[in-house]
Structure 1
Protein backbone atom coordinates (compact mmCIF):
# COMPACT_ATOMS: atom_id res chain seq x y z
CA UNK A 1 0.00 0.00 0.00
CA UNK A 2 1.38 3.40 -0.95
CA UNK A 3 1.65 6.21 1.59
CA UNK A 4 -1.12 8.10 -0.21
CA UNK A 5 -3.48 5.09 -0.13
CA UNK A 6 -2.72 4.54 3.57
CA UNK A 7 -3.49 8.18 4.35
CA UNK A 8 -6.73 7.95 2.36
CA UNK A 9 -7.82 4.84 4.28
CA UNK A 10 -7.29 6.65 7.60
CA UNK A 11 -9.23 9.76 6.55
CA UNK A 12 -12.42 10.41 8.46
CA UNK A 13 -15.60 11.67 6.77
CA UNK A 14 -15.00 15.09 8.36
CA UNK A 15 -11.63 15.31 6.56
CA UNK A 16 -13.11 14.68 3.12
CA UNK A 17 -14.44 17.50 0.95
CA UNK A 18 -18.19 17.26 0.53
CA UNK A 19 -20.86 19.25 -1.27
CA UNK A 20 -24.55 18.39 -1.19
CA UNK A 21 -26.32 21.27 -2.91
CA UNK A 22 -29.43 21.00 -5.05
CA UNK A 23 -31.05 23.66 -7.22
CA UNK A 24 -34.23 22.79 -9.10
CA UNK A 25 -36.40 24.93 -11.34
CA UNK A 26 -39.60 23.28 -12.44
CA UNK A 27 -43.38 23.01 -12.09
CA UNK A 28 -45.26 21.95 -9.00
CA UNK A 29 -47.19 18.72 -9.64
CA UNK A 30 -50.31 18.67 -7.48
CA UNK A 31 -50.93 20.82 -4.42
CA UNK A 32 -48.50 20.56 -1.49
CA UNK A 33 -49.52 18.36 1.45
CA UNK A 34 -48.85 18.82 5.14
CA UNK A 35 -48.25 15.80 7.39
CA UNK A 36 -48.00 15.57 11.14
CA UNK A 37 -45.47 12.88 12.05
CA UNK A 38 -45.56 10.58 15.11
CA UNK A 39 -42.56 12.55 16.44
CA UNK A 40 -44.73 15.67 16.62
CA UNK A 41 -42.91 17.33 13.71
CA UNK A 42 -44.74 18.62 10.67
CA UNK A 43 -43.47 18.33 7.12
CA UNK A 44 -44.86 19.96 3.99
CA UNK A 45 -44.25 17.82 0.91
CA UNK A 46 -44.54 18.63 -2.77
CA UNK A 47 -43.45 17.25 -6.11
CA UNK A 48 -41.54 19.19 -8.72
CA UNK A 49 -41.39 18.20 -12.38
CA UNK A 50 -38.11 19.22 -14.00
CA UNK A 51 -37.33 18.91 -17.70
CA UNK A 52 -34.14 16.96 -18.36
CA UNK A 53 -31.32 18.84 -19.99
CA UNK A 54 -28.59 17.55 -22.27
CA UNK A 55 -28.64 15.53 -25.41
CA UNK A 56 -30.92 12.58 -25.88
CA UNK A 57 -29.59 9.08 -26.42
CA UNK A 58 -29.43 7.80 -29.95
CA UNK A 59 -32.77 6.27 -30.91
CA UNK A 60 -34.60 7.81 -27.91
CA UNK A 61 -38.10 9.19 -28.29
CA UNK A 62 -38.30 12.84 -29.26
CA UNK A 63 -40.78 13.67 -26.48
CA UNK A 64 -39.58 15.87 -23.66
CA UNK A 65 -38.04 13.86 -20.85
CA UNK A 66 -38.75 14.94 -17.29
CA UNK A 67 -37.88 13.93 -13.74
CA UNK A 68 -40.40 14.10 -10.91
CA UNK A 69 -38.71 14.89 -7.61
CA UNK A 70 -40.08 14.82 -4.06
CA UNK A 71 -39.36 17.87 -1.90
CA UNK A 72 -39.67 18.00 1.91
CA UNK A 73 -39.99 21.32 3.75
CA UNK A 74 -39.11 21.18 7.45
CA UNK A 75 -38.52 24.82 8.50
CA UNK A 76 -41.55 26.96 9.38
CA UNK A 77 -40.72 29.72 6.87
CA UNK A 78 -40.18 27.37 3.94
CA UNK A 79 -43.33 25.45 4.96
CA UNK A 80 -45.40 28.67 4.79
CA UNK A 81 -44.05 29.51 1.32
CA UNK A 82 -44.53 25.94 0.06
CA UNK A 83 -48.10 25.78 1.42
CA UNK A 84 -49.07 28.75 -0.78
CA UNK A 85 -48.01 26.97 -3.97
CA UNK A 86 -50.49 25.44 -6.37
CA UNK A 87 -50.39 22.81 -9.08
CA UNK A 88 -48.60 24.22 -12.13
CA UNK A 89 -46.65 27.00 -10.37
CA UNK A 90 -43.08 27.37 -11.60
CA UNK A 91 -40.71 27.40 -8.65
CA UNK A 92 -37.05 27.36 -7.70
CA UNK A 93 -35.99 25.09 -4.85
CA UNK A 94 -32.59 25.06 -3.19
CA UNK A 95 -31.55 22.52 -0.62
CA UNK A 96 -29.82 19.18 -0.19
CA UNK A 97 -30.44 15.61 -1.26
CA UNK A 98 -31.41 13.35 1.65
CA UNK A 99 -32.15 9.64 1.98
CA UNK A 100 -35.02 8.93 4.36
CA UNK A 101 -35.58 5.56 6.03
CA UNK A 102 -38.73 4.12 7.63
CA UNK A 103 -40.33 0.82 8.51
CA UNK A 104 -43.03 -0.46 6.20
CA UNK A 105 -45.19 -3.60 6.39
CA UNK A 106 -42.75 -5.19 3.93
CA UNK A 107 -39.67 -4.27 6.00
CA UNK A 108 -37.24 -1.38 5.92
CA UNK A 109 -37.75 1.12 3.11
CA UNK A 110 -36.02 4.27 1.92
CA UNK A 111 -36.28 7.02 -0.66
CA UNK A 112 -34.36 10.07 -1.76
CA UNK A 113 -35.89 13.53 -1.56
CA UNK A 114 -34.77 17.12 -1.65
CA UNK A 115 -34.78 18.82 1.75
CA UNK A 116 -35.71 22.40 0.85
CA UNK A 117 -33.82 25.34 2.32
CA UNK A 118 -35.64 27.85 0.08
CA UNK A 119 -38.71 27.71 -2.14
CA UNK A 120 -39.39 30.64 -4.46
CA UNK A 121 -42.26 31.05 -6.92
CA UNK A 122 -41.04 32.44 -10.23
CA UNK A 123 -42.64 35.66 -11.50
CA UNK A 124 -45.78 35.25 -13.60
CA UNK A 125 -45.86 31.52 -13.10
CA UNK A 126 -49.23 30.91 -11.48
CA UNK A 127 -51.31 28.15 -12.97
CA UNK A 128 -54.51 29.33 -14.72
Structure 2
Protein backbone atom coordinates (compact mmCIF):
# COMPACT_ATOMS: atom_id res chain seq x y z
CA UNK A 1 0.00 0.00 0.00
CA UNK A 2 1.40 3.41 -0.94
CA UNK A 3 1.30 6.42 1.33
CA UNK A 4 -0.99 9.25 0.10
CA UNK A 5 0.66 12.38 -1.29
CA UNK A 6 0.93 15.22 1.19
CA UNK A 7 0.15 18.71 -0.05
CA UNK A 8 0.87 22.11 1.53
CA UNK A 9 0.00 24.88 -0.89
CA UNK A 10 -1.77 28.15 -0.11
CA UNK A 11 -3.17 30.70 -2.59
CA UNK A 12 -4.71 33.90 -1.24
CA UNK A 13 -5.85 37.26 -2.55
CA UNK A 14 -6.47 40.06 -0.11
CA UNK A 15 -5.60 43.54 1.15
CA UNK A 16 -2.26 44.47 2.73
CA UNK A 17 -2.84 45.80 6.24
CA UNK A 18 -0.19 48.20 7.48
CA UNK A 19 3.37 48.70 6.32
CA UNK A 20 5.50 45.61 5.58
CA UNK A 21 8.27 45.14 8.14
CA UNK A 22 11.87 44.14 7.32
CA UNK A 23 13.71 42.30 10.11
CA UNK A 24 16.97 40.52 10.66
CA UNK A 25 16.57 37.32 12.67
CA UNK A 26 19.08 36.23 15.35
CA UNK A 27 20.36 33.72 12.77
CA UNK A 28 21.28 36.63 10.47
CA UNK A 29 18.55 35.77 7.95
CA UNK A 30 16.58 38.72 6.61
CA UNK A 31 12.82 38.57 6.15
CA UNK A 32 9.95 40.88 5.26
CA UNK A 33 6.57 40.27 6.88
CA UNK A 34 3.16 41.79 6.32
CA UNK A 35 -0.44 41.10 7.24
CA UNK A 36 -2.93 40.11 4.56
CA UNK A 37 -6.63 40.64 5.25
CA UNK A 38 -8.76 38.10 3.39
CA UNK A 39 -12.56 38.07 3.33
CA UNK A 40 -14.20 34.86 4.43
CA UNK A 41 -16.62 33.24 2.02
CA UNK A 42 -20.18 33.36 3.21
CA UNK A 43 -21.16 30.10 4.86
CA UNK A 44 -24.11 28.14 3.66
CA UNK A 45 -27.31 29.00 5.46
CA UNK A 46 -27.46 27.44 8.91
CA UNK A 47 -23.75 26.53 9.05
CA UNK A 48 -22.28 29.81 10.35
CA UNK A 49 -19.93 29.25 13.24
CA UNK A 50 -18.63 32.80 13.63
CA UNK A 51 -19.73 36.32 12.88
CA UNK A 52 -16.16 37.14 11.79
CA UNK A 53 -16.07 38.26 8.15
CA UNK A 54 -12.29 38.44 7.54
CA UNK A 55 -9.09 36.64 8.51
CA UNK A 56 -5.75 38.39 9.02
CA UNK A 57 -2.85 36.22 7.92
CA UNK A 58 0.86 36.81 8.39
CA UNK A 59 2.94 36.45 5.22
CA UNK A 60 6.73 36.01 5.27
CA UNK A 61 9.15 36.65 2.37
CA UNK A 62 12.58 35.02 2.63
CA UNK A 63 14.19 35.38 -0.81
CA UNK A 64 15.83 38.67 -1.79
CA UNK A 65 13.50 39.14 -4.78
CA UNK A 66 10.37 38.55 -2.71
CA UNK A 67 11.68 40.75 0.12
CA UNK A 68 12.15 43.66 -2.32
CA UNK A 69 8.68 43.13 -3.82
CA UNK A 70 6.94 42.88 -0.45
CA UNK A 71 8.82 45.77 1.16
CA UNK A 72 7.36 48.13 -1.48
CA UNK A 73 3.72 47.12 -0.93
CA UNK A 74 1.61 50.06 0.22
CA UNK A 75 -1.00 49.76 2.92
CA UNK A 76 -4.30 48.78 1.29
CA UNK A 77 -2.78 47.22 -1.85
CA UNK A 78 -4.64 44.20 -3.21
CA UNK A 79 -2.20 41.33 -3.72
CA UNK A 80 -2.22 37.66 -4.69
CA UNK A 81 0.21 35.36 -2.90
CA UNK A 82 1.12 31.70 -3.00
CA UNK A 83 3.19 29.74 -0.53
CA UNK A 84 3.20 27.10 2.17
CA UNK A 85 1.61 27.21 5.60
CA UNK A 86 4.12 27.13 8.46
CA UNK A 87 3.59 26.95 12.20
CA UNK A 88 5.78 29.41 14.11
CA UNK A 89 6.78 29.31 17.78
CA UNK A 90 8.06 31.99 20.14
CA UNK A 91 8.82 32.14 23.84
CA UNK A 92 7.83 35.37 25.56
CA UNK A 93 7.54 36.15 29.26
CA UNK A 94 7.95 32.50 30.17
CA UNK A 95 5.10 31.27 28.00
CA UNK A 96 5.13 29.77 24.53
CA UNK A 97 3.11 31.21 21.67
CA UNK A 98 2.37 29.64 18.32
CA UNK A 99 0.73 30.93 15.16
CA UNK A 100 0.54 30.12 11.48
CA UNK A 101 2.13 32.13 8.67
CA UNK A 102 2.35 31.74 4.91
CA UNK A 103 5.94 31.34 3.72
CA UNK A 104 5.70 33.03 0.33
CA UNK A 105 6.78 31.63 -3.02
CA UNK A 106 5.07 34.40 -5.06
CA UNK A 107 3.57 37.83 -4.39
CA UNK A 108 2.07 40.15 -6.99
CA UNK A 109 -0.18 43.18 -7.02
CA UNK A 110 -3.63 42.43 -8.34
CA UNK A 111 -4.57 44.06 -11.68
CA UNK A 112 -7.46 45.66 -9.77
CA UNK A 113 -5.07 47.09 -7.17
CA UNK A 114 -5.99 50.49 -5.80
- TM-score normalised by structure 1 residue count: 0.77
**What value does the CA root-mean-square deviation take over the aligned residues?**
2.2
Aligned residue in 2 for 1:102: 90
2:57 is aligned to 69
Change (3 A) 1:56 1:29: farther
Q: CA deviation at 1:106?
A: 2.3
- State how 1:1-128 maps to structure 2 within 5 Å: 15-55=3-43, 58=46, 65-126=53-114
- For structure 1, which segment, 15-24 or 68-77, has the greater mean C-alpha deviation from structure 2 after superposition? 15-24
How many equivalent residue pairs? 112
Determine which structure has the larger helix proportion and give its number: 1
- Larger relative CO (CA 8 A, sep 6+): 1 or 2? 2
Alpha carbons 1:49, 1:68 under 8 Å: kept: yes
Counterparts in 2 of 1:78 and 1:105: CA distance versus 1, 3 Å: same
- Where does structure 2 lack aligned partners over 5 or more consecutive residues? none
- Contact residue 51 and residue 64 of structure 1 kept, 8 A: no
Q: TM-score, normalised by structure 2?
A: 0.86
| Cα offsets for 1:59-114 (capped at 9, x unmatched) | 96xx8711110101111111111011011100001000001122222233221100
Larger Rg: 1
TM-aligned CA deviation for residue 57 of structure 1? 5.4
Q: Report SS of the residue matched to 1:87.
A: coil
Contact kept? 1:29, 1:46, Cα under 8 Å: yes
Is the Cα–Cα contact under 8 Å of residues 36 and 42 in structure 1 kept in the other structure? yes
C-alpha deviation, 1:54, in angstroms: 3.6
